[in-house]
Structure 1
């Protein structure tokens, strides 16, 4: 049987999980942006070299 204490723990865990996913999403956005910038600079450099 689920008690009030169990519900509080489930809600707390859900909140922490949501915050963790938000932080991971932000990190992935930064990594993707950095990779895109590096790729673009590399392509421009290689095109100018030809």
Structure 2
């Protein structure tokens, strides 16, 4: 689904999709992507 992205980016997007689902949303918006980046724990989250 997220081919063409780096492994870390794919991980962040996977987390974002999970957060959207947990919140009962049927879309993945910027708020979910930001949560995914934070959860991924890389340099961008600091």
Q: TM-score range with shorter-chain normalisation? A: 0.3 to 0.5
Larger Rg: 1
* Higher share of residues assigned helix: 1
Q: Which has the higher contact order (CA 8 A, sep 6+)?
A: 2
TM-score, normalization by structure 2: 0.41
TM-score, normalization by structure 1: 0.38
